[in-house]
Amino acid sequence: MFGFSIFMNDSLSEEKKQYIRQMASNGFVGIFTSMHIPEDDVSAYQKRLIELGSEAKKNKLELMVDISGEALERAGFSLEDLTPLKAIGVTGLRMDYHISNQQIADWSHQLKISLNASTITPKDIDELKEAEADFSQIEAWHNYYPRPETGLDKEWYQKKNQWLKIQGLLVQGFVPGDTELRGPLYQGLPTLEEHRGVHPLAGALDLLASNTDIVYIGDAGLSENVQEQFASFQKEQTVLLHTEPVDEEFYEYILGKHTNRQDDARDVIRSADARFREIPSIPARNTATRMKGSITLDNEKYLRYMGEIQLTKYDLPADEKVNVVAKVIKEELPLINQIKAGMNYQFIRKEGR
CB 340 within 8 A of CB 269: no
Burial class (CB in 10 A: 0-12, 13-18, 19+), 15: exposed
Comparing CA positions, the residue from 113, 43, 33, 114 lying closest to residue 74 is: 43
Q: Domain 2-237: give its CATH superfamily.
A: Aldolase class I (3.20.20.70)
CA 38, 43, 44, 50 torsion-angle sign: positive
Phi/psi region, residue 197 (left: phi>0; alpha: psi -120 to 50; beta: rest), is: left
pTM of the model: 0.94
Tell me the three state secondary structure of residue 51.
helix
What proportion of the chain, given as a percentage, has pLDDT over 90? 83
Model confidence band, residue 142 (pLDDT cutoffs 50, 70, 90): very high
Out of 33-37, 56-60, 251-255, 324-328, which region has the weakest mean confidence (pLDDT)? Answer: 33-37
Q: What is the pLDDT of residue 37?
A: 55
pLDDT tens column, 165-219: 999 999 999 999 999 999 899 999 999 999 999 999 999 999 999 999 999 999 9
Domain span(s) for CATH 2.40.100.10 in the chain: 241-349
Q: Which residue has the higher pLDDT, 163 or 70?
A: 163
Task: State the DSSP code for 13.
Answer: -
Model confidence band, residue 346 (pLDDT cutoffs 50, 70, 90): very high
Q: What is the pLDDT of residue 4?
A: 98
Domain span(s) for CATH 3.20.20.70 in the chain: 2-237
The mean per-residue pLDDT over the stretch 129-155 comes to 97
Residue 164 has pLDDT above 80, yes or no: yes
Q: Which residues contact 80 (CB under 8 A, 6 or more apart)?
A: none
CA–CA distance, 295 with 290 (Å, rounded to integer): 8
Q: What is the pLDDT of residue 42?
A: 66
Name the strands in the sheet holding 322-328, side by side, starting at the edge strand that comes first in the sequence. Answer: 256-259, 344-349, 238-245, 322-328, 294-298, 309-312, 268-270
CA–CA distance, 144 with 175 (Å, rounded to integer): 8
Q: CATH classification of 241-349 is 3.40.190.10, yes or no?
A: no
Residue 279 has pLDDT above 90, yes or no: no
DSSP assignment of 114-172: EEETTT--HHHHHHHHHTT--GGGEEEE-----STT-SBPHHHHHHHHHHHHHTT-EEE
CA–CA distance, 247 with 253 (Å, rounded to integer): 11
Instruction: Give the other-Cβ count within 10 Å of 271's Cβ.
Output: 24
Q: What is the pLDDT of residue 74?
A: 77
Q: What is the pLDDT of residue 80?
A: 79
The mean per-residue pLDDT over the stretch 288-298 comes to 98
CA–CA distance, 257 with 348 (Å, rounded to integer): 9
b/e burial code for range 22-40 (CB count within 10 A of at least 16 → b): bbbebebbbbbbbbebeee
Comparing CA positions, the residue from 173, 147, 148 lying closest to residue 160 is: 173
CB 294 within 8 A of CB 311: yes
Model confidence band, residue 97 (pLDDT cutoffs 50, 70, 90): low
